[in-house]
């Protein structure tokens, strides 16, 4: 396995050496990649509270699909990986302030975010779903019924899920949560009627709480591409990360990560 990974990293380096050797036609600076190479460290911002994409294990060490993806990227660059854990709402400000080189944290590519930063990807497609104890909420064919003063929903603060509730369900009450653990607890304790979150978050919650009477949508009701946030205006870094993702995708390494973290629940024992 180690020999295979070394071979994969060599392949990535060769691909990138060819793809990134061209002069940037836009005249953009390559200071981002130069800075990473000079420091020998890739700083990746992540919330570490969005399983199975990013979370902390029993020892407080980040793990998940996003973390593995960042690790592959650092190895391809030939540098060390430094994970910078921050609340989700503080990740993009940290990127804009130069505190991190990129953000990999289950972040949906939206026009609003893309006005401030660049995005490479998507590396994963997700969508919104409901997690609830009330089967009627997930079986109704009329989604307009979800927009009622009778319902209270929770969603991660500063997330596209919170925006979805505010725009599609303005009559309902929204209670934001700092992380998914707190949000799921609200559903379990009947403080809210449902959690609005990415589909994989809802599926994970069903696996973690099989005896709590939780139900979710069979398929997501929105389309959300997840991307890697990068500093605005750095064409070479965008080119590098895009080439990296293409290589991971074409070599099937990306799908292997998705199987490991989204379809196989064996890693649940590593959580607190």
Q: Where are the alpha helices (DSSP H) in 97-159?
A: 111-114, 135-139
96 and 193, same domain (yes or no): no
Determine the angle formed by the axes of helices 65-77 and 235-250, rounding to 10 degrees: 110
Q: For residue range 187-241, what is the model confidence (pLDDT) as tens digits?
A: 999 999 999 998 888 988 988 898 999 999 877 888 889 999 999 999 999 999 9
Q: Beta partners for 63?
A: 55
Quick one: 68 and 120 in the same domain?
Answer: yes
Same-domain pairing of 119 and 134: no
Structural domain containing residue 132: 128-216
Q: Are residues 84 and 21 in the same domain?
A: yes
pLDDT tens digits, one per residue of 94-125 = 999 999 999 999 999 999 999 999 999 999 99
Structure tokens belonging to residue 22? 């061209």
pLDDT average, residue stretch 150-159? 94
Tell me what pLDDT residue 30 has: 41
pLDDT on residue 213? 94
Q: Is residue 221 assigned to a domain?
A: no
Last residue of a domain, one of 186, 216, 246: 216
Query: CATH code at 251?
Result: 3.40.190.10
The pLDDT score that the predictor gives to residue 24 is 38
Number of domains observed in the structure of the chain = 2
Residue 271's pLDDT is 83
**% of the chain with per-residue pLDDT over 90:** 68
* Mean of pLDDT values over 48-53: 90
Residue 18 clears pLDDT 50, i.e. is over it: no
Kindly state whether residue 27 falls inside one of the protein's structural domains.
Answer: yes
CA torsion, ordered 15, 21, 26, 27, to nearest 10 deg:
140
The radius of gyration computed from the CA coordinates of the chain, to the nearest angstrom, equals: 19
The per-residue pLDDT for 203 is: 84
Last residue of a domain, one of 171, 198, 216: 216
Q: Give the whole-angstrom CA distance, residue 215 versus residue 270.
A: 24
Q: Are residues 29 and 96 in the same domain?
A: yes
Same domain for 67 and 187, yes or no, is no
- Are 38 and 140 within one domain? no
Is 79 part of a structural domain of the chain? Answer: yes
Q: How confident is the model at residue 8 (pLDDT cuts 50, 70, 90)?
A: low
Say if residue 46 is in the same domain as residue 21. yes
Has residue 7 got a pLDDT over 80?
A: no
Taking the CB of residue 60, how many other CB atoms lie within 10 A of it? 9
| pLDDT above 90 (res 247) | yes
- What's the confidence (pLDDT) of residue 1? 45
CA distance 226 to 121: 7
- C-alpha torsion angle, residues 226, 230, 235, 238 (rounded to 10): -40
In a domain, 116, yes or no: yes
Tokens coding 161 = 């899920």
In a domain, residue 245? The reply is yes
- Does 260 map to a domain? yes
- Of the three residues 189, 216, 243, the one that is the final residue of a domain is 216
* Confidence category of residue 137, pLDDT binned at 50, 70, 90: confident
User: Which pLDDT band, with edges at 50, 70 and 90, does 31 fall under?
Assistant: low
- Quote the pLDDT of residue 16: 47
């Amino acid at each position: 396995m180690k020999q295979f990974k070394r071979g994969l990293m060599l392949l990535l380096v060769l691909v990138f050496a060819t793809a990134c050797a061209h002069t940037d036609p836009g005249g953009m600076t390559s200071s981002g990649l130069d800075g990473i190479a000079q420091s020998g460290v890739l700083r990746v911002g992540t919330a570490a509270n969005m399983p199975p994409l990013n979370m902390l294990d029993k020892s407080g060490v980040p793990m998940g699909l996003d973390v593995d993806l960042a690790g592959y990227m650092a190895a391809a660059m030939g540098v060390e990986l430094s994970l910078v854990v921050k609340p989700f709402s503080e990740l993009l400000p940290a990127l804009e302030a130069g505190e991190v080189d990129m953000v990999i944290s289950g972040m949906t590519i939206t026009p609003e975010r893309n006005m401030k930063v660049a995005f490479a990807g998507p590396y994963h497609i997700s969508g919104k779903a409901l997690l609830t104890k009330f089967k009627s909420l997930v079986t109704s064919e009329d989604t307009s019924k979800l927009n009622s003063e009778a319902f209270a929903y929770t969603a991660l603060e500063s997330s596209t899920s919170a925006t979805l509730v505010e725009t599609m369900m303005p009559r309902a009450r929204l209670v934001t949560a700092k992380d998914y653990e707190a949000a799921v607890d609200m559903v379990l304790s009947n403080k809210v009627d449902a959690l609005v979150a990415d589909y994989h978050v809802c599926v994970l919650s069903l696996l973690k709480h099989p005896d709590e009477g939780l139900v979710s949508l069979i398929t997501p009701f929105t389309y959300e591409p997840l991307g890697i946030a990068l500093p605005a205006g750095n064409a070479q870094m965008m080119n590098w990360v895009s080439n990296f993702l293409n290589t991971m995708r074409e070599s099937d390494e990306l799908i292997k990560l998705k199987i490991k973290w989204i379809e196989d629940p064996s890693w649940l024992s590593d959580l607190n």
